[in-house]
Structure 1
Amino acid sequence: MGGANKKVPFEETDFVDNPVSLYASTKKSNELMAHTYSHLYNIPATGLRFFTVYGPMGRPDMAYFGFADKYFAGEPIKIFNNGDFENDLYRDFTYIDDIVEGIERLLSNAPEGDVQHKIFNIGNNSPEKLMTFITTLEKCLGNALGKEVE
Structure 2
Amino acid sequence: MSDVNTRHVCRHIYLLNAKIDHLTSFETSEGRMSREQVYMLETIAEEPNITQKQLIARMKKEQTAISRAIQRMADSNLISKTQSREDLRAFYLKISEKGLRLIDELHDEICEITDELLKDLSMDEVKHLTHILEKLHR
- Fold-level match, TM-score > 0.5? no
Larger helix share, 1 or 2: 2
**TM-score, normalised by the number of residues in structure 1:** 0.27
| Structure with larger Rg | 1
**TM-score, normalised by the number of residues in structure 2:** 0.28
Q: Which has the higher contact order (CA 8 A, sep 6+)?
A: 1
